[in-house]
């Protein structure tokens, strides 16, 4: 499949939501196709994000599915209008592989971002030197000649926390991630100070799960949850391994990760205590 035919993140999100609305309304793909006077195959392509949908056709489907909320309709219309919109990361060419482009698309559109990080600090909270040290430590995943560009991309990502109508960001970090001296002592201490500074942002909540808690619900590994509406309920969960990345969107999967995050939140230090723990780790460094 060529890059032009590859569904965008926004296209898949729109298609997934239309499928959910159709199923909730008890409508079949045949009924949807009849309303649009098209084939069932086209409905399937719309619901997988393979093709876009005109505003008029979107309105017909939303009427069929009984969607009367103006807010919901406006949100879906806006999503449909921007399914082909290029993100800023496209300027980096093939430095940004498709899976990473998916992540950047989700991150850029999110109203709420919640993450659990047991081993390294969240990308949105990293300093340039810390990010570079992490990338240099993983030659299996990153070619050395691309490190400068990837560091620049990571720094550009941080704008989601400071732009107008910035995303609400909530990070829960396991204490070992604080204590790992990534990049050496100077880089590490500067990163801890930066972490404490960003935690003061009004849209940022930072909590630390201390070592003495023992086993945690986060044994499933790191994850990022994205919410796209005024509700923090996740609309997608992003997972990453050494060689691949993917996101989850099924309701049962999202509910499971939401439950894990709540368990981690309950076992973590509160934000003020978390800042005290970060300061204590820096003092010991």
Render pLDDT for 111-152 as a digit per residue (tens, 0 to 9).
899 999 999 999 999 999 999 999 888 776 667 778 898 899
Range 154-162 average pLDDT:
93
Question: Nearest to residue 175, comparing CAs of 120, 247, 122?
Answer: 120
The rounded distance, in Å, linking the Cα atoms of 215 and 218 is 8
Model pLDDT, residue 2: 37
Q: What is the mean pLDDT of residues 191-205?
A: 96
223-227 β-sheet, strand order: 204-209, 168-174, 112-117, 223-227, 236-240, 245-248
Residue 178 makes CB contacts below 8 A (sequence gap 6+) with 121, 192, 195, 208, 277, 278, 281
Asked if 61 and 35 touch (Cβ cutoff 8 Å), the reply is: yes
Residue-level pLDDT at 22:
93
Q: How many CB atoms lie within 10 A of CB 227?
A: 20
Q: Are 51 and 7 in contact (CB under 8 A)?
A: no
Contact (CB, 8 A) for 75 and 14: no
Contacts of residue 195, Cβ cutoff 8 Å, sequence gap at least 6: 121, 125, 178, 206, 278
CB 236 within 8 A of CB 225: yes
Tell me the three state secondary structure of residue 256: helix
Instruction: Please tell me which residue, 143 or 61, carries the higher pLDDT value.
Output: 61
Question: What distance in Å separates the CA atoms of residue 255 and residue 10, rounded to the nearest whole number?
Answer: 21
The alpha carbon of residue 84 and the mean position of all alpha carbons in its chain are separated, in whole angstroms, by 19
213 CB burial (10 A radius; 0-12, 13-18, 19+): middle
CATH topology assigned to domain 89-284: Endonuclease; Chain A (3.30.870)
pLDDT digits (tens, 9 = 90+) for 27-53: 999 999 999 999 999 998 888 887 889
Greatest extent of the chain over all pairs of C-alpha atoms, in Å: 69
Give the right CATH number for 3-81 from 1.10.3720.10, 3.40.50.261, 3.40.50.720, 1.10.260.40. 1.10.260.40
Alpha helices for 122-218 (secondary structure H): 128-136, 147-157, 175-179, 185-198
Q: Residues 235-250: pLDDT tens digits?
A: 889 888 766 677 787 8
Write down the pLDDT at residue 39: 93
Give the start-to-end residue ranges of the domains of the chain: 3-81, 89-284
Distance CA 48, CA 192 (A): 42
- Cβ atoms of 85 and 10 within 8 Å: the answer is yes
% of the chain with per-residue pLDDT over 70: 90
pLDDT of residue 230: 75
The residue that leads in pLDDT, 113 or 20, is 113
Residue position matching structure tokens 């392509």: 45
pLDDT score of 285? 81
Q: How confident is the model at residue 72 (pLDDT cuts 50, 70, 90)?
A: confident
Determine phi and psi for 25, rounding to 5 degrees. -80, -5
Q: Over 60: is that where the pLDDT of 1 sits?
A: no
């Amino acid at each position: 499949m060529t890059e032009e035919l590859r569904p965008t993140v926004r296209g898949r999100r729109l298609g997934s939501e239309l499928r959910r609305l159709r199923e909730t309304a008890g409508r079949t793909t045949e009924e949807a196709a009849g309303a649009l006077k098209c084939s069932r195959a086209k409905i399937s392509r719309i619901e997988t994000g393979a093709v876009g949908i005109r505003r008029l056709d979107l309105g017909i489907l939303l009427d069929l599915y009984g969607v009367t909320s103006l807010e919901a309709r406006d949100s879906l219309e806006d999503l449909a209008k921007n399914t082909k919109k290029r993100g800023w990361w496209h300027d980096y060419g093939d430095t940004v592989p498709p899976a990473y482009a998916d992540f950047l698309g989700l991150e850029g559109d999110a109203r709420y971002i919640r993450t659990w990080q047991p081993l390294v600090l969240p990308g949105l909270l990293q300093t340039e030197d810390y990010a570079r040290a992490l990338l240099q430590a993983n030659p299996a995943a990153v070619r050395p000649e691309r490190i400068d560009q990837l560091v620049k991309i990571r720094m550009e990502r941080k704008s989601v926390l400071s732009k107008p109508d910035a995303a609400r960001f909530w990070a829960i970090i396991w204490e070992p991630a604080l204590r790992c001296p990534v990049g050496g002592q100077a880089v590490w201490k500067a990163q801890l100070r930066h972490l404490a500074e960003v935690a003061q942002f009004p849209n940022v909540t930072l909590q630390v799960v201390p070592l003495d808690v023992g086993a945690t619900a986060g044994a499933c590994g790191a994850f990022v949850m994205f919410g796209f509406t005024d509700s923090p309920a996740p609309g997608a969960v992003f997972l990453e391994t050494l060689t691949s990345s993917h996101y989850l969107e099924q309701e049962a999967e999202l509910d499971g990760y939401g439950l894990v995050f709540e368990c981690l939140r309950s076992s973590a230090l509160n934000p003020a205590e978390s800042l005290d723990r970060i300061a204590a780790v820096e003092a010991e460094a």
